[in-house]
Amino acid sequence: MITVYGEGRGFRVVWLLEEMGLAYRLRPVDMLAGVENDPEFLAINPAGFIPAIQDGDVTMVESIAIMEYLMARYGPTPLVPDPHDPAFGLYQQFLHLGEAGLAASIFFVIVAKILAPEAEQDNWGTRKALDTFKSRLKLVTRQLERTPYIAGERFTAADISVTYALQLAKRAAGFELAEIERAYVARAIARDGYKRAMDACGATKAWVASQGGE
């Protein structure tokens, strides 16, 4: 049985598991209560961030790496284009850009807004992080002008990666998405796999509901 520790970006992992129809259990990690009070989780990830997974003898962190592991270990799955498919390069690019370019940048804008003293919220670092998010988003927008999904005509795991980042920006940073991006997110989250993941991720569901959003 695969155990997923924590929601947050763990939502990507749960969404993927639901799309693949794999059995798992979600073990909550309460970041706000402080991971220092959760020695069982710290034994899994001493760096104290989520998500992590445990699958038999395998323990891993990093949501995109976890997704790649699960698809390689339990595939084949249509969520990954064949390496000879012309879509494969775009798939790889956006799978990683969803985290390294988008979520990782906007995350620092969000935590500054939530946790930093007011005088430190708007600083060079957070402005640079927001600019980085906006610049990477141009690649997403251009691709969506060409194809309905981020790597082409079909939904792939890269859409899980990018959709999560766009929703994070909208929900937690109040970032205004363009119509083409909003339509894309709506397409991705209309999937049954997304709905099942939302039902499984109680903390995410409650947070989204508290904001009156989808």
In this chain, which stretch among 47-55, 79-87, 120-128, 137-145 interacts with ligand GSH, using CB under 6 A?
Answer: 47-55
Helix (H, G, I), strand (E, B) or coil at 26: strand
Q: How far is the CB of 183 from ligand GSH (least distance, A)?
A: 25
* 8 is a contact residue toward ligand GSH (CB under 6 A): yes
* 204 contributes a contact to ligand GSH by CB under 6 A: no
- Give helix then strand counts, H and E, for the chain: 11, 4
Give every CB contact of residue 139 below 8 A, 6+ residues apart in sequence.
93, 94, 97, 101
Report if residue 48 touches ligand GSH, rule: CB under 6 A: yes
> CB-hemisphere CA count at 13 Å for 70?
32
Smaller CB separation from ligand GSH, 62 or 85: 62
Min dist. Cβ of residue 158 to ligand GSH (A): 14
Phi-psi region of 123 (alpha: psi -120 to 50; beta: other; left: phi over 0): beta
| CA neighbor of 78 nearest in space, from 19, 33, 23 | 19
Q: Which residues, numbered 105-144, are part of the site for ligand GSH (CB under 6 A)? A: 107
63 contacts ligand GSH (rule: CB under 6 A): yes
85 binds ligand GSH (CB under 6 A): no
Both tokens of 124, joined, read 């060079």
Stretch that binds ligand GSH, among 99-107, 117-125, 147-155, 169-177 (CB under 6 A): 99-107
Cβ-closest position to ligand GSH = 8
157 burial type by CB count under 10 A (0-12 exposed, 13-18 middle, 19+ buried): buried
Binding residues (CB under 6 A) for ligand GSH: these are: 8-9, 31, 48-51, 62-64, 99, 104, 107
